[in-house]
Amino acid sequence: MTKFINPGLMQTSRRNVLRGSMLAGAAALSGAGAMAARRTPQPVKADAISRSLHKAAAEQTADSTAKPADLSGYTRVKQELVAPPFAPEHEQVATGGPKIIEITMETTEKLMVVDEDTGASVWALTFGGSVPGPLIICHEGDMVELTLRNPEDSMMEHNIDFHASTGALGGGGLTHVYPGEECVLRWKATKPGCFTYHCAPGGAMIPYHVTHGMNGAIMVLPRDGLKDADGNPLRYDSIAYIGEQDYYLPMDENGDYKTYEAAGDDYADSLEAMRTLTPTHQVFNGAVGALTGENALRAKVGETVLMVHNSCNVDSRPHLIGGHGNYVWESSFTDVPLTGMETWFVRGGSAAAAMYTFEQPGVYAYVNHNLIIGAMLGGTAHFVVEGEWDNNLMEQVVAPRPFET
Ligand SMILES: [Cu+2]
């Protein structure tokens, strides 16, 4: 069990100490994964190119003679992040001037059960201990100031790439934190919309971290809130934050899911499973059943819910069975929303928002309408909606009965 750190990104002497332990870890790993290594071509060159790109991104800003940021006119506020499927406290329409929104996230590595029925588990790599990482909300023109902390007992280095930001690989080049380190990154939210963020340490570690849960979403609202095509305000009563997660969990020769002692121990096996591009699980909010049964999302008839759907790695086609996407923003919030959608599209590597006002009580399934994924891989959530049934919208005129011949 050795700390597992990307060797292409070491700069300080402390990091060189870590490099020694990492190389020892790599040697141990190649022993453990020798069978896999023989069968599977390793992306060595692609790894090296990716790592040098990250190093260059960090050096560019370090060497820069750029002027300091002009922070005049900004007010500092703290945003307390909360676990999914909930959203942090926020304003839909911004009051006052632009803000510097201070947030803190820890890179937490934890053993998580993916499917209780099969015992499938993963050493999840997380932002803030949840899959997906917490939803961040700000307004266009605000600055996000993130303190990213990697606990001393972590096995791995982490960083963060915000798709909503501009420059330095989305911040990925400036935020590599090793176990026991923290960093602070500030960036300006210039593009309104929903965006994914994810860990991207370099090379094959990027998809490895992402497919171990290290991704989440930020919503950058227009300062005057969401609008329809005619400019009329659109407001929601609640947010349901759903993160779609593809896992590629290694199995043994009997078809049982393998278990590992620590984060990173599954690296060689995972790379082999990932190369199939065939997920063993594609779940909402980290695990099969995380948003169904007792964990179902709740709403009332007449309630307007904004469903924010993050999918960092794979394309998804969300569909609310028995309902619709009244307004859907697959792209920027400055674009006119799609309306009356039956199924919408979340491009892998992005997040999207869909707004719906519930009109009937009952249980609604919110699924990936690749129904193999929805029904067999875990991509399902439930909304339990309370209220009065409306026979004008639907009525069972005749219950199932034998018909006369
Ligand atoms: Cu990471």
Q: Which of 48-52, 194-198, 200-204, 280-284 has the lowest mean pLDDT?
A: 48-52
Which of 105, 143, 214, 355 is catalytic? The answer is 214
Which amino acid is located at 42 in the chain? Q
At residue 53, the pLDDT reads 74
At residue 2, the pLDDT reads 62
209 belongs to the catalytic site: yes
| Tens-digit pLDDT profile for residues 2-15 | 666 665 554 544 45
User: Does the N-terminal peptide bond of residue 132 adopt cis geometry, omega within 30 degrees of 0?
Assistant: yes
Which amino acid is located at 291 in the chain? L
In the chain, what are the domains? 7-52 (no CATH), 73-223 (2.60.40.420), 240-386 (2.60.40.420)
312 belongs to the catalytic site: no
Mean pLDDT of 78-97: 98
163 belongs to the catalytic site: yes
161 belongs to the catalytic site: yes
Which of 139, 209, 309, 382 is catalytic? The answer is 209
At residue 169, the pLDDT reads 95
158 belongs to the catalytic site: yes
342 belongs to the catalytic site: yes
**CA 248, 253, 257, 263: dihedral to nearest 10 degrees?**
-70
Polymer length in residues for the chain: 405
Alpha carbon of 134 to ligand 1 centroid (Å): 15
Alpha carbon of 68 to ligand 1 centroid (Å): 29
**Residue 57 DSSP SS3:** helix
Which of 139, 158, 176, 309 is catalytic? The answer is 158
| Tens-digit pLDDT profile for residues 283-326 | 999 999 999 999 999 999 999 999 999 999 999 999 999 999 99
Ligand 1 is a single-atom ion; what residues have CB below 5 A from it?
Answer: 125, 158, 199, 209, 214
| Tens-digit pLDDT profile for residues 260-278 | 999 999 999 999 999 999 9
369 belongs to the catalytic site: yes
- pLDDT at position 328 over 50: yes
Beta strands across the sheet bearing 161-162: 136-139, 215-221, 193-198, 161-162
Mean pLDDT of 64-69: 88
| Tens-digit pLDDT profile for residues 358-385 | 999 999 999 999 999 999 999 999 999 9
Give the whole-number percent of the chain exceeding pLDDT 70: 87
Which of 161, 246, 265, 269 is catalytic? The answer is 161
Q: To the nearest whole number, what is the mean pLDDT of the chain?
A: 91
324 belongs to the catalytic site: no
- pLDDT at position 60 over 90: no
Three-state secondary structure string covering 133-183? CCCEEEECCCEEEEEEECCCCCCECECCEECCCCCHHHHHHHCCECCCCEE
Give the whole-number percent of the chain exceeding pLDDT 90: 83
230 belongs to the catalytic site: no
- pLDDT at position 28 over 70: no
